[in-house]
Structure 1
Amino acid sequence: MGDAISKRTTIVDIARLAGVSIKTVSRALNDEPHVSDTVRRAVKDAAVRLDYHPNIAAQSLIAKRSYLIGLTYERPSPSYVVDLQNGALERLENERYRLVVLSFGHVASRPADLGTFLLRAGLDGVLLAPPACDQPIVLDLLDRQKLPYARITPHSMLDRGIVVTMDEVAAARTIAAHVLEQGHRRIGVILGDPSHVSSHQRTEGYRRAFFDAGVTVDDALMVAGDYTYETGYAAALDMLRHSTRPTAILAQNDDMAVGAIAAARDLGLQVPHDVSIVGFDDSDVSRTAWPRLTTIHQPVREMAWDAADRLIAAVGDGADAGRRDHPHQLIVRASVTPPPAIA
């Protein structure tokens, strides 16, 4: 026979080594009051010596908590989702809480289904990314059941719950102004998913920049997309096939911008010599594209970290609601140059 399987260390073993009761071990490990510093140190030293690792499921039963934090989103850019997850995971790294990633499609058409799904998931709290963060039905359901939530980049009802946001109108205005300052006047726009408020906010920012520059928006050059590479490619292909093609394209995220670069190349055009292209988000793909993308840095990872941090506090004592704004940054790279006529 092989060696017997070693028994997992329990709080009974810690209590025996530290010379205290099982209840005292539980209180010390959970940093509860009414335990002296000397006893707390003795218990934690014993736990280290015995290589003790707490059973989260057992802790959940005792504390009547799941120690699960949900993160819900709807199929946006893969890079965006990775940044969301990494930001939340970095904050939860040394906590008892675990992150549960919950993808949910077509939120705008069935918000009640999403709310019910979240309530049935056994979560202690939930991070709501777009577009769920802007759905009043979802927020109403969570409020009624007293499930804490933090909203990442919402665009409405900014007085509800924990809000971590960035001014997307100002950010879009900044990048459109940069393109206009290079001398571009015939500018195409590849719109994002119309069910995401972010697309409308970014469009508003572009329009303000055009107004500031005294340039008329050509609605014929505003083409629908949905934040995917494929729609960016198709929209740019359509725009660039015309004899009066735009000299620059504003794509409402980096994935669509990279699709637009591919479309330009397939038509024999050079970026940025023949057409300048910009994105939005500063995701990983913006740095690996060629040429590298001029874009807006949206601090997704930092916002997700902040939202998770404040949500943990809310789960603990119900406090820390309110709004916190994060700044955007224009990242100038090689995908923009003045149009050929004035270069």
Structure 2
Amino acid sequence: MSAATIYDVARKARVSAMTVSRVINGGVNVDELTRERVSAAIAALQYQVNQAARSARKGTMRVGMLCGSPGAAYLSDFLLGATDQCSQQGAQLIVEKCGDLDSQRAAAARLIENGAACLLVPPPLCDQEASIQQLDDLGVPIVAVASARPAAHIHAVRIDDYQAAKAMMHHLFAAGHSDIAFILGDPGHAPAQLRLQAYLDAMSVAGMSTRAGRLAQGGGNYRSGLTAARELLDHPERPSAIFACNDDMAAAVVSVAQGMGLRVPQDLAVCGFDDMPIAASVWPGLTTIHQPVDEMARAAVQLAIDAIRDAGRPRHRVLPYTLVQRESTTAGAAH
């Protein structure tokens, strides 16, 4: 049988995990009956307090982060920004990896046991209703990062994915393209659905119908982009431009096109989204939407720290995006 967690104690005592943490650490904002109920639950479950972690966190504000499966480049940039912001604020970032709901529950419990007073929830967890509902039960503030439609009762930081994707479509229209294909992202990534909707709406408003063979399902990674690109470019009437839902898939499109002897952008314009390092390292460089991951990480940490210090109303911050024009859509474009 696995060892009891702080979450198990909270459920048995019918309180939040944060209340259990307060009892363990001698917090004053707990009434005596609740303190006794939590103590009884600890004894019944033979819960073992992590004394090393308890000693280490005294006097230090801790922000927890649940890591699902975001892209490696995104996660690296986010961690750097979040860690630096925590350092500037005299706080500490602690991270736990998780996958399904059961592992998320255990990971969140470990974070709170180790002193986390607020949880950062990046994609894809931030857009999973069951995931957010489970975290709500822990009784600590939540900050959703890059969520498509963050719930009103939690803190959030994001960009406007819909408007950013529409800006990219207008860029392609201005370059003279009307036959534009789109590679869809991971079906479980909610912002990817907003980007798809922006593509469809922009085509409709411009009076351009989406022809057969102009939508291909990708999975968000480079390999899925290769498959989707071949599907679109093997069509008897190739599109003049392909808008991929992220940079990894857009880079894959460039590779497939060049393998077929097509020139980018003369024969095929290609654009992506996110402005990850691969966008500037492939040739030609990818036109893309810059998502300010470092700024989003810093803003998320600041929201978390503000929430810990003052449990006020949830705040939603929408940061500006930038359309970065490179050579994949316009020959000779400046970096």
Do both proteins adopt the same fold according to a TM-score greater than 0.5, normalized to the shorter chain?
yes
| 1:336 positional shift | 0.6
Matching residue within 49, 55, 58 for 1:58 = 55
Mapped pair 1:319 → 2:316: no
- Write the letter of the residue equivalent to 1:134: D
- Write the letter of the residue equivalent to 1:74: G
Map Cα deviations across residues 169-197 of structure 1 (whole Å, 9 max, x no partner).
Answer: 11111101211221212222111100111
Map Cα deviations across residues 113-138 of structure 1 (whole Å, 9 max, x no partner).
Answer: 42343123333321111121122323
In 2: Cα distance, 1:91 partner to 1:101 partner: 15
| 1:71 positional shift | 2.4
The answer to whether the 8 Å contact 1:280/1:297 transfers is yes
2:261 corresponds in structure 1 to 268
Mapped pair 1:331 → 2:324: yes
In 1: Cα distance, 2:199 partner to 2:158 partner: 19
Q: What is the correspondence of 1:78-227 to structure 2 with a 5 Å cutoff?
A: 78-105=72-99, 110-111=100-101, 113-121=103-111, 122=113, 123-218=116-211, 220-227=213-220
In 2: Cα distance, 1:251 partner to 1:275 partner: 13
In 1: Cα distance, 2:143 partner to 2:70 partner: 19
Q: Percent same amino acid at aligned positions?
A: 32
In 2: Cα distance, 1:77 partner to 1:218 partner: 31
The answer to whether the 8 Å contact 1:249/1:278 transfers is yes
- Write the letter of the residue equivalent to 2:82: A
In 1: Cα distance, 2:220 partner to 2:186 partner: 6
Greater CA drift, 237-246 or 89-98: 89-98
In 2: Cα distance, 1:276 partner to 1:72 partner: 37
The answer to whether the 8 Å contact 2:97/2:107 transfers is no
Map Cα deviations across residues 21-69 of structure 1 (whole Å, 9 max, x no partner).
Answer: xxxxxxxxxxxxxxxxxxxxxxxxxxxxxxxxxx986242x45x7x542
- Write the letter of the residue equivalent to 1:139: I
The answer to whether the 8 Å contact 2:66/2:122 transfers is yes
- Write the letter of the residue equivalent to 2:72: P
Map Cα deviations across residues 244-276 of structure 1 (whole Å, 9 max, x no partner).
Answer: 111111000111111111111111211111111
Q: TM-score, normalised by structure 2?
A: 0.76
Map Cα deviations across residues 268-304 of structure 1 (whole Å, 9 max, x no partner).
Answer: 2111111110000111111111111111111121111
The answer to whether the 8 Å contact 2:69/2:123 transfers is no
In 2: Cα distance, 1:320 partner to 1:59 partner: 30
Q: SS of 1:124's equivalent?
A: strand
Q: SS of 2:213's equivalent?
A: helix
Q: SS of 1:75's equivalent?
A: coil
In 2: Cα distance, 1:189 partner to 1:322 partner: 33
In 2: Cα distance, 1:321 partner to 1:193 partner: 28
Q: Aligned residues, how many?
A: 277
In 1: Cα distance, 2:257 partner to 2:132 partner: 42
Q: SS of 2:289's equivalent?
A: strand
Rg larger in structure? 1
Mapped pair 1:233 → 2:226: yes
1:3 corresponds in structure 2 to none
Structure 1 runs not aligned, ≥5 long: 1-54, 339-343
Structure 2 runs not aligned, ≥5 long: 1-51
- Write the letter of the residue equivalent to 1:317: D
Q: 1:269 to 1:201 in 2, by over 3 A?
A: same
Q: TM-score, normalised by structure 1?
A: 0.75
The answer to whether the 8 Å contact 2:265/2:329 transfers is yes
The answer to whether the 8 Å contact 1:111/1:135 transfers is no
The answer to whether the 8 Å contact 1:158/1:323 transfers is no
The answer to whether the 8 Å contact 2:246/2:272 transfers is yes
Greater CA drift, 265-274 or 91-100: 91-100
| 1:243 positional shift | 2.9
Mapped pair 1:305 → 2:298: yes
In 2: Cα distance, 1:206 partner to 1:283 partner: 21
| 1:240 positional shift | 1.3
Runs ≥4 residues deviating over 4 A: none
